[in-house]
Structure 1
Amino acid sequence: MLANNIVKLNNTEVYDQILRYFKKIEDRTDKPEEEKEHHTKKSYMPKIEKFFSIVRPDCKGDLRFLTRKDVQITLEDFEDFIEEMRQSDTYVNKTINLYVTAARGLLDYLHSKKIVKDISYFSQIERLPESNKSHGVLSVEEALKMAELALEEREKGEIKRMLILFSIDTCIRKGALLKLKWSNFREENGVVIIEGVDKGNKEFRKTIAKWFYDEMVSVLKTDNSEYVFNINNKGIQGMMNRLKEKMNISEDRQIVFHSLRKTGASFTYRLQGNDIMAAKKALNHSNINSTMRYIGDRDHGACGAVSLGKDYDKDAYKKINHEELLKIIDEMPGDYKLYINMKIQELNQNVSK
């Protein structure tokens, strides 16, 4: 493979034309001169690199390695690309369409340079329906129920259960979860640290309880296992479809595996007193606006604190008896009960010190 890549690097015909294509895009933009190169690299190159990393995996997304043969893209290549992007649960349809548009633009340009032979199938590439609605979010109660139902799966039920629980607990993206190795885990000061690489080669560091790690080892680890979760994208997608049906979750909610990441982030947000920075850290986001979109898609349609203030008694919980308070708590969503139990445990730990 290394020798082949060295040969390809010596043949820069395609890459030279790709750079010309990006220069052409720069010249079309109305941005100031100093922003053009930055704009092209951020907006176009990553999309095209992602496209070729999927349809030509031997190149690993490095455009320098592309040959004339590599860029003879077919309709099937586009269909495979779109399907893999959809299965990833990370990209909404609007974003996938942008990736397809970027790849088509480059191939159209290379066709005009007589490098790409055929683009007649372009009209057959179906544009995905777009919606402003992003992937939905599950409550913690729903997510935990989904994990228990996963045990009833015909194949790999225990693996699927642990995958769901681990996703809620760490908020790690599915792609990074499937790449996790046991060597990414280490015990330190009574907890277990997980260090790995996520989307965009961005490093992450997570912490889980030692008991949870021990349970993962007992369930998942075998003598010849290097990776933690022995499951693929297709298996996860099938699992989600079956579990949503069992739980009568409407398609309108757009629940996918990625929704579990939102579940974990939303719980962290509330656990830390609606601290958006805590959610940002849990999600390993660089941009706070991305985090706001994760937290902001929950239904917050109730009246605000000012609107309720006139008739709202902030000491009402002190004025009811113990049985009434327990009844109210029992009727609350499961994630709120979990939060209350965690605060009680925290209080008991402080008392015992």
Structure 2
Amino acid sequence: MPIKAKITATSVKGLKPEDKRLNDTEIAGFHARITPKGSITYYLFYRLHGKQVNYKLGVNGQISPVQARDLAKDKMAEVTKGIDVQAVKKKERFNTQQAKLSTLQRFLEEKYYPWLKSRNPKTVQKTIKAFEASFQVFMDYQLKDITAWEVEKWRNKRLDDAIKPATANRQINLIKGCLSRAVEWGLIESHDLQKVKALTVDNSKVRYLSKDEELRLRAALDDLGIDYLKTLVLLARNTGMRKGELLSLKWEDINLTNKVLTVDFQNAKSGSSRHIPLNTEAFNTLIKWKDLSGDNGYVFKGENQLQIKDFRYDWARLLDAAAITNFRFHDLRHHFASMLVMASVDLNTVRELLGHSDLNMTLRYAHLAPEHKAAAVNLIG
């Protein structure tokens, strides 16, 4: 049966499970409950606006009877002023929980990555690695606290660590896109990362092969006799495909009858499919490779029939054999675009073949066609 007494260390110590409850004699509604196992919890019972509430003050051992009494007095004073302390407590708990859920880490894991996976599953791992490598400092930040000022400070630190401006620009675009989704989905009202202006990057310098370098590269391909590598290089040289697009290519993406190759949207950086006509060399190269490797599954696969993930060692051997320096596999894409421009192909066609989302990316090759500028000024000469 419930008993009445002033709640003190002594009365609480003497409380037995069969007592069930100890009602304080000085503060109305202040009481302690004891469970059959002897655990004691302090409560404050109050009525407000017709609602009856039992407000939990704390567990004995975590707070003392004196602390529970002081807290009961404070909360009852708030109730007297018309404040529903239970509702306030629930709101505070909700806000705390929401704060935990709205960190960058939780947003990425629970919302952003699943959304990316639904749109383009093959790029999710690359995005995850990019965030983990670049934005660890922001993972415990509230989304609303990732401001332009914080990102500017982060970028300055990255630049001090010798990161390239172009890399910094790509990384900032990554987090801008992430926060824009958070705004779109109503998790934050806005962000101000548009204030973080892109660093100036000189895109006019394009690395492509000279005629002599290309001759040496072709000779080295023949001398090494690595069939898959020769196919990869010649296909990149004649289609402008990215390394990831080539390694993800499947035979079902190639129509040898119509001489057209399709880059599936799931493998394209832009997220859009594109169709690339096969010129004579690309077509003949694929025909020879089909006879060697078969026409099922991935175009480039190892002995275990699984997709080739990388070919760094063989690429290094090739460059060494050809005596070519400062040339990445990705530069074959630049070589493809440069040859098109120097052959007077219009920039919009080059853009479509490369899969650029807008012409700005393609304009880096414009200076390779000086005859167009010369013809333009001669019109008024």
Scaled by the length of structure 1, what TM-score is found? 0.46
Q: Report the structure, 1 or 2, having the larger strand content.
A: 2
**Larger Cα Rg: Structure 1 or Structure 2?**
2
Scaled by the length of structure 2, what TM-score is found? 0.43
Q: Report the structure, 1 or 2, having the larger helix content.
A: 1
